[in-house]
Structure 1
Amino acid sequence: MAAAFHIRPATKADVQTLLDLILALAVYEKAAESAQATAELLTRNLFEDSFAHALLAFTGPASEPGAPVGMALYFFNFSTWTGRPGLYLEDLFVKPEHRNLGVGKALFAQLAKIAQEKNCARMDWQVLTWNEPSIRFYEDVLKAKPMGEWQGMRLEEEGIENLKKIASKPN
């Protein structure tokens, strides 16, 4: 019996596929207007400067790739507590019509393999608080632990620029 899907690392040739999946994720997360990635940005940052990496899931076996059904975009960070790298999952998305077929679990398994190969002490990611199906999957199936004592913080471009101005002012 042929595999229902397969997973492989994304290549430069997959940039449009990644963009399509990113837009589908943005729509799912009710934030389509926030998706600003372009082919040029993905090409430079994923495949030239290698700031991040991506996995893609396709229908069918690897020998006969079919339609793209999911992706995982990740990068490596570093833990001062463990003194080792960590794998940070920025986004994992499976198209709604392909959920509950094992694609998400297989993407996580591939990420775990990569984390072990890189001697990562842990894997981290965030989930929207309203995304109950994903939270149940993470807790019940993956046995992931919520990090309730931590609050995410972010500076976007304007905040970065303001911080630069603040830092350049004399005390």
Structure 2
Amino acid sequence: MSTPSPLLSIRPATVDDVPLIRALIGELAEYERLADAAVATDADLRAQLFGPAPAAEVLIGEVDGEPAGFALFFHNFSTFLGKRGLYLEDLFVRPAARGVGLGKHLMAALARIAVQRDCGRFEWSVLDWNAPAIGFYRRIGAVGMDEWTVHRLEGEALHALASHDAL
């Protein structure tokens, strides 16, 4: 007799999920070897995700009714396409829930949102050492953008540039 397949479900996060979202972000940060960088508090997440002008949205993935992963996303814009896009900031499935299809269900839900909202693209970044994630993304049809390099301003450099006087 075979083991029954787990029940997978995806739902939009609510403000009551803030502690869960923060916990999942912490688990993702540990996996990515960036635990010290994960400084968001429940108050930060509540204000930014569920305040008057939400900066992002979150989907919660569940296995047999238990939270097992999340996807945090927001919209960007393509000047070339003249359409907004959907940008996946974080995707994480707890190790115990990997291999049952939850990651693919989360990605499919995001793809549906992108199509429903008439987005021109759905994109994300992945750490170059994360071979399991890269393999997963390629299996679902994603193409790496090797000719693009991500740049970032943060902390002191961000504030220094912001304080530069305009001519």
Give me the TM-score of the superposition, normalised by structure 2.
Answer: 0.93
Q: Give, as a single letter, the amino acid of the residue that structure 1 aligns with 2:148.
A: W
How far residue 159 of structure 1 moved from its aligned partner, in angstroms, is: 1.8
How far residue 59 of structure 1 moved from its aligned partner, in angstroms, is: 2.2
How far residue 137 of structure 1 moved from its aligned partner, in angstroms, is: 1.0
Q: Give, as a single letter, the amino acid of the residue that structure 1 aligns with 2:77.
A: F
* Alignment-derived partner of residue 146 in structure 1: 144
After TM superposition, what 4+ stretches of structure 1 lie above 4 angstroms from structure 2? Answer: none
Specify the SS of the correspondent of 1:27: helix
* Alignment-derived partner of residue 63 in structure 1: none
RMSD (Å) for aligned C-alpha atoms:
1.3
Aligned residue pairs, count: 163
* Alignment-derived partner of residue 20 in structure 1: 23
Q: Deviations over 1:51-73 (max 9, x none)?
A: 1000001222xxxxx32100000
How far residue 90 of structure 1 moved from its aligned partner, in angstroms, is: 0.2
Q: Are the aligned partners of 2:6 and 2:100 in contact in 1 as well (CA < 8 Å)?
A: no
Give me the TM-score of the superposition, normalised by structure 1.
Answer: 0.91
Distance in 2 separating the partners of 1:35 and 1:129:
20
* Alignment-derived partner of residue 57 in structure 2: 53
Distance in 2 separating the partners of 1:67 and 1:36:
25
**Unpaired stretches in structure 1, ≥5 consecutive residues:** 61-65
Distance in 2 separating the partners of 1:136 and 1:2:
23
